[in-house]
Amino acid sequence: MVLAERKIAYCTNYMDNRMTQHDIDVSNLPTIAFGSRSPLWWAEMLTIMMLSAVVATLIATYLYLRIGFSSWPGPDAVPPSLFLPTICFVVLLIVVAPIYSASKAAQRGERQRSTHGLAITFLLGITFLVLRFSAFNELGVRWYSGVYGSLVWVIMGFHTILTIAATVWTGILLGITLGQKDRERQQMGIQINALYWGFLALSWIPFYVLLFVYPAALMV
């Protein structure tokens, strides 16, 4: 089984360097890429898959424990008010717009608009968190008062931690793009931040329905 001695003995101390017709020249390939061409985009999508696995686990836990109860949310639990959670929900849906436009602007290279988009997203993120904390206080149940209370606090806590992370990340991006001249890598970062905010908004839909709309409908 003699290995045909190919023209290129492929090893590190390879010396002669004649071009072959199969060689590929990549010097003209870009060093910035948006969307699925960049590994950072793939890393973010995989992270979103991970977090959606946690979301699915929490939904499954909620439904599994709900089945065990004849009256939901629990014999003495007061039905949750829909006012603040709905506002939070709307604000979260609104946040997706500026960050999406910032991401599109970043891809087109318009630094000005992408920075504006980031700033608006950051402010909306802060307002969302303020609303969310007031919603926490307004909840009729505590985390130790029965299963519904535990589930509400665990699920809202999980989502709030993710939103705090998103807001801080947007803040960091904003800080870097305002201060630094080299912003190509941050432009890629903006698009990935947009993906993350999109996931946050989408994941809040099932939670919003399960935690607030469904019990309120049952108790009406």
Any residues with CB less than 8 A from the CB of 172 and at least 6 apart, and which? Answer: none
Q: How far is the CB of 159 from other proteins (least distance, A)?
A: 13
Q: Given candidates 58, 91, 96, 131, which one binds other proteins under the rule CB under 8 A?
A: 58
Contact at 8 Å (CB) between 79 and 149? Answer: no
Q: How far is the CB of 87 from other proteins (least distance, A)?
A: 26
Q: How far is the CB of 154 from other proteins (least distance, A)?
A: 6
Q: Given candidates 98, 117, 125, 189, which one binds other proteins under the rule CB under 8 A?
A: 189
Helices (H), 80-183: 83-108, 111-138, 146-179
Asked whether position 180 contacts other proteins by CB under 8 A, the answer is: yes
Kindly write out the interface string for residues 73-102 of this chain, putting x where it contacts other proteins by CB under 8 A and - elsewhere: -x----------------------------
Q: Is 47 helix (H, G, I), strand (E, B) or coil?
A: helix
Of 61-69, 95-103, 195-203, 209-217, which part binds other proteins (CB under 8 A)?
61-69
* Smaller CB separation from other proteins, 51 or 123: 51
- Tokens coding 163: 């939103």
C-alpha torsion angle, residues 56, 58, 59, 61 (rounded to 10)? 120
* Smaller CB separation from other proteins, 79 or 82: 79
What does each C-alpha distance from 70 to 77, 123, 215 come to in angstroms?
13, 43, 13
Contact at 8 Å (CB) between 75 and 134? Answer: no
Amino acid making up residue 122? F
Of 37-45, 84-92, 198-206, 209-217, which part binds other proteins (CB under 8 A)?
37-45
Q: How far is the CB of 96 from other proteins (least distance, A)?
A: 22
Q: Given candidates 2, 6, 18, 76, which one binds other proteins under the rule CB under 8 A?
A: 6
Binders in 112-151 for other proteins, by CB under 8 A: 143-144, 146-147, 149-151
Asked whether position 1 contacts other proteins by CB under 8 A, the answer is: yes
Q: Please choose, from the candidates 115, 91, 92, 95, the residue with its C-alpha nearest in 3D space to the C-alpha of residue 103.
A: 115
Residue 107: burial class (beta carbons within 10 Å; 0-12, 13-18, 19+): middle
Asked whether position 2 contacts other proteins by CB under 8 A, the answer is: no
* Smaller CB separation from other proteins, 51 or 93: 51
